[in-house]
Structure 1
Amino acid sequence: MPATLVSIRERARVLLDGICHVCPACDGRRCPTGVPGMGGTGTGASFRNNVTALAAWQVNMRVLHDRKDQDLGLRLFGQKLAFPILGAAVAGARVNFQGRLGEEELARAFVLGAAEAGSLSLTGDGPLPELMDAGLKAIKAAGGRGIPVIKPREDGEIVSLIRRAEDAGAVAVGIDVDAAGLVNMTRAGQLVEPKTVEQIAGIAAATSLPLILKGIMTVADAEAAVAGGAAAIVVSNHGGRALDHTPGTAAVLPEIAAAVGDKITVLADGGVRSGVDVLKMLALGARAVLVGRPLAIAAIGGGAAGVRLQLEALADDLAVAMRLTGCGDLGDIGPGILARTKLNMQNSKI
């Protein structure tokens, strides 16, 4: 019998016993572990804020229109994608998942599953060389359809890793600048640091690949990314795993997108669990979204096939949400499909 998302999630629940409950609502309220693990750092407030910030927006249903066929396709980093949903960089299987899945197995599931679904996945980095190695190997196996994300290491080391990404045929390369304070790197004796505009400019100039900066949560940092020559930013608080008590990404995305959206590609992650959540992020100003925890569960329970099924389910859900809000293609999605709630009316500028 072919695997289903239900059977995949049930297998993941067994494999992740003590690490993740695989809750029906993945909102950070019942996480048995924080970091390392699947939860958020500290109190877990940043993880929960991602979910509540998205829930604070509602969508306006429209069913009297002629937008009967939904086109989810787009071009991103020179690639034609079937839908605006990408795999986030999830790595550290030995630590976060207690070795219940191998690092290469995890990376291949994300990258090959996303490629099979017609999309892309990011891959991760960390104190163990096997993390970057596994991601680059998976990207090469997928014909380059993947994006390695490098920790904010010393500039020369970043450029050296970018050369390896180029050799693997990657379509773009990223730096998760929100990892500048991760203790697992410093405890391993590996420097991570905040970057200046001049440093970003030097790194961007060292490669022909589009440079993505992940972990942008303010207009000031977004404008700095533009000034440094980055091709894209990811509005992200590292899944709530870097700094406690940050806002949810959906709360800060509108202001950031309004400030720099016509100068740089704006992506976003954080709390996306459904096609409606994807629709909200797009309406708030993102060009595409990244999904982490749901794909990690799918990868652990079903490998690359599980990741493909999960991405396709999100895309199907997005298509329905677009039809029921009068959107025929991604260009139709804008702030007008959103309804403000009392919770966010005072702070929203859209």
Structure 2
Amino acid sequence: MPPKGSKKAVTTKAATKAAKPAAEPAPTTPDAESGDENQAPSTPATKTKTPRKRGTPKVANKLATPASGAGPVDVTYENDSVLATPLPKAKGGGFGQTVKLSAAQPFELVASYMLDNGCQAIIIKPAAPFQFMKLPKDIRGRILRYNLAPKNADGVLLNKIDIVEKSGAIKAKDYAKEFKHRLAITILNKESAAEARQILYGFRLKFDNTMSLLQFMSSAGDEVRKAMCRVTIGNWVKGTAMASMTMLMDCTNLTSVVILAGVGTNSKPDKAAKVFFAEAGRFIQNLVTANGGRKEVVFEIITFGKHCFSIKDEDELEDWDDDQVNIFTSEVNAKLNAIDLPTWACMCGSQERGHSCGEVIALRARIEALRPLPRALPYLHKRVVALAMMG
């Protein structure tokens, strides 16, 4: 028989093997003095850096200046006293004072002078502005085109300026969104404003509807109207279409008018042509007159979007086909041919060549003033009008 303790000893040995080995102690660095090469190296202790105390920031005091002599440049000093403080010998000794000059506009240092009363004056003056207007005209144009070109948030150039009506106000909210100050060059002087106006309004202006166009044209001056070249109308609104197109007659340099939607919605070509000519007829006639009587110029300047015309077919709106669009243009041309249009007309409204616009306008004003005369006396009325025309 095996001894009584042999079984317990085996069990203890097995338990020892099954037990998880204890974590070995971290190696230590051998002591140089002990000379024991077999001793395990120890991990070096991490040194904790003591944070450096930052010095107290120096307070800048503004130099007192009489109200009558205050200038555009502010002068501040760092020390608590206006007196200069001794400098260390390592920096050459002597006395020093840290002075800071700051201004909203650029300036330059000119010189330092010794005055008769023992004071020393530092002379500064505003920096000379860049002589932009002395550049060649083509160089100025390149700068203006780059500066005024519409861009998106990523700086990619666009070909149009979106103009919308919001809360009764006209806004180009995405134009020059981050750099509003770049438009200041348009009011530098009259010459710069004229050059910038031609470039700015030479870009395509896209209005969300005829209401936006009407409000924009109501506030635009003659210079802006003459500079406008390309217009896009997002939606043709019946209530404001006639008034907005009538105002476009003052834009004598128009080369493109694009209407994207709303002209012939759920309408047949002949009916849509009749309504369109009633709303835009004066503008169309003005285009023909301004182009020497060429009636084909109408649909060279006025173009329509893909979804501008539609008709309901089995409860669904379908876009017109090419034949229906051709019928529409033919109907508009037929209405245009039925009107005896002058081949030429001045901006003042006169059709006589070699006239004086001032005299025509003054004559029209005198005739308008005589309109309230009673029509019961036709002979007297004609006589007074004739006298007005004689001067």
Superposition TM-score, scaled by structure 1 size:
0.29
Higher relative contact order (CA 8 A, sep 6+): 1
Structure with the largest fraction of helix: 1
